[in-house]
A and B are shown apart, each in its own frame.
Chain A
Amino acid sequence: MTALVQANDLAMSFDVSAPWLNRVLERKPRTLLHAVDGVSFEIEKGKTLALVGESGCGKSTVARLLVGLYEPSRGNLQFDGLDAHAVFKTRQGLQLRSRIQMIFQDPYASLNPRWLVQDIVAEPLIEHGLVHTPATLKERVGELLTAVGLSVFDGAKYPHQFSGGQRQRISIARALATHPEFLVCDEPTSALDVSVQAQVLNLMKDLQRKLGLTYLFISHNLAVVRHVSDQVGVMYLGRLVELADKQALFANPRHPYTRMLLDAIPKMTDTGRARTPVQGEVPNPLNPPAGCAFNPRCPHANERCRNERPLLLTISGIRIACHAVQEGRI
């Protein structure tokens, strides 16, 4: 079975050098920030891959690469057998873009406050030339609003008249307008309250079942990830450190970073239990540590971890980048 989405060694670097004059006068070299450094995964049709990690690990950059907002500095993205970034530049690019849509994190920033909701939802339909008469446009917008649990009459309102959860429904309606097959969701519920988050997550699961959608779901919340995903990829400093099926990852997390993340979540069941949190913080991505990027915080790090960067290898069904696991030390 071939995957719908296949990322091969995707990488993205940003030039964060000092201005030219400073570089010349102060003899500073060019500095590159490797936000994403060689990420590979595939997502099968109708499945959900979740990417988790802390701020600055490159999750959102991966999302932007997948929808074509960034051009990768290395590697490529295969979508349904096509080299997506090459196709985006050609005449067929628009058609491919209609098959890949995105939902953004902040429903307060991603909707134009001066547009009516019906115009927001209609924009992709018009842009992609999917409807030709005003009557069908109106009908299709109505369908979309109903599909996400809003009323047809909500189209005549402005975004500020809605609550956060309802606004995120509008974003979902807009993303669904072009009949996409693949939705990239960048932290779609992290700006929402828990009771509303549950509504939006349930809606997204229902739509996936009904329309056969494929999701890339980005979140920092492992509990949410457990609820929505089929596969989970854990990122640390621009690289995947563990990629496994949901059951395997939550039942038996292998990478020390994954274990740390799981352990860091406050649990409802242990009231008053004291934990020993992992020390240290994410290193500066401009100056990542040699060897495994996690080694300064890792309790199992040894000499090899400090010098040699581990590769993402398949070990008993999961993919993991850790010397300690590969050597059988943990």
Chain B
Amino acid sequence: MSLLQVKNLVVEFPHRRGTLRALDDISFDIAPGEILGVVGESGAGKSITGAAIIGLLEPPGRIAGGQILLEGERIDQYGFEQMRHIRGKRIGAIFQDPLTSLNPLHTIGHQLIETIRTHLPLSENAARERAISLLKDTGIPAPEQRIDHYPHQFSGGMRQRVVIALALAAEPKLIVADEPTTALDVSIQAQIITLLKGICHQHQAAVMLITHDMGVIAETCDRVAVLYAGRIVEIGPVHELINRPAHPYTAGLMAAIPDISQDRERLNQIDGAMPRLNAIPVGCAYNPRCPQAFDKCRSQRPELMPAGRTRAACWLHETETQQVPA
């Protein structure tokens, strides 16, 4: 059974001049121990997806439809108190900026022990020992001394290690990591990604990794979902999706990334910009920028359909779908 199932999720932001639909009918699932990448440009709805799952949507944003199931249990309608017991215990969270996700007034030990004791029945001393072993797992040198330091005494990379330790404190089955390496330098980014991958494997936690960096996705994830204007446009195994993208948007995104291993005179660019939420085009949201758009794309919205070994929301693959016997 899937660890997490998201079915037809809709997130809306009511607004004076009408309602904005930030997520429109999103469905995916994550298997135990799997790393799912969620990629897209700013405003595509990546972070909203993460926030909806951990129950931290900023008001007035609200879940307007669909279901979120964690190990078969419906969690999307839980109130704040009920979610408090799930967050940290069953779903861990890692955010982009490690400085703002730690409390500057408490030592990291205090924060770790508090989290551990909230969720696990351990004594102060046992919790402290567990905190030290978590810090050791995340590669912090001299954890016995460092545990009594304040967040400002750590560098950016070290702080993100502390945040990872905090997310793993109660052995959650799922970790939602929202741009965990974006605020870090490349050399530190590589360290953190390796750590995240290794430690989640070791603790058998599944990860939903939200990022805009295709390179990070390629190296870390098992499967990828590509988001565009609040919808999944393509989802599939990472190797297939990167080497044989089925949706023109995915293909354009891949071609736009400067390649470190070869020289190109010009980068392929996708003209235009992602539409605003109050002006999503009729039909496929990508049709004004799509070089392969035809009439049907401008009038009817495609749903996800099989396309090679991935699934893509694109009318180009419609014939393919019909040939496959149901």
Contacts and interface: CB of A to CB of B under 8 A. Distances in A.
B215 A195 contact: no
Contacts of A13: none
A209 to B, nearest CB: 10
Given A269-B261, A270-B219, A271-B219, A197 B187 contact: no
Interface string B125-169: 000000000000000000000000000000101100000000000
B15 interface: no
Interface in B270-287: 270-271, 273
B186 A223 contact: no
Nearest to B217: A266
B258 A223 contact: yes
Interface stretch (A15-23, A158-166, A173-181, A237-245): A158-166
Contacts of A268: 214-215, 218, 242, 254, 257, 259
A315 B242 CA distance: 40
Interface stretch (B101-109, B190-198, B311-319): B190-198
A272 B220 CA distance: 6
Interface in B196-248: 197, 212-216, 218-220, 238-239, 242
Interface stretch (A41-49, A81-89, A274-282): A274-282
A303 to B, nearest CB: 24
Contacts of A194: 41, 212, 214, 253, 256-257
Contacts of B273: 163, 165-166, 196
Nearest to B213: A266
A262 interface: yes
A274 B256 CA distance: 25
A172 to B, nearest CB: 15
Given A166-B273, A223-B260, A272-B238, A278 B216 contact: no
Contacts of B213: 266
A270 B215 CA distance: 9
A262 B260 contact: yes
Given A265-B186, A271-B242, A202 B259 contact: no
A198 B216 contact: no
15 contacts: A54-B187, A199-B271, A220-B186, A221-B186, A227-B264, A227-B267, A261-B186, A265-B260, A266-B193, A266-B219, A267-B260, A268-B214, A269-B261, A274-B194, A277-B190
A267 B269 contact: no
A277 B260 CA distance: 18
A26 interface: no
A301 B218 CA distance: 33
Contact of B218 (A221, A267, A281): A267
A281 B190 contact: no
Interface in A184-203: 193-199, 201-202
Given A227-B267, A268-B259, A271-B242, A277 B194 contact: yes
A309 interface: no
Contact of B188 (A196, A273, A281): A281
Given A195-B252, A261-B186, A279 B191 contact: yes
A226 B260 contact: yes
A288 to B, nearest CB: 15
A55 B216 CA distance: 19
Given A266-B189, A268-B242, A274-B197, 13 more contacts: A165-B273, A196-B273, A201-B267, A202-B267, A226-B263, A227-B258, A265-B215, A268-B254, A271-B238, A271-B239, A271-B242, A278-B191, A281-B188
Contacts of B185: 54-55, 220, 282
Contacts of A224: 258
Nearest to A273: B219
A201 B266 CA distance: 9
A221 B158 CA distance: 22
B187 A260 contact: yes
- Max chain B CB contacts within 10 Å: which of A194, A275, A278? A194
A272 B215 CA distance: 11
Nearest to B216: A266
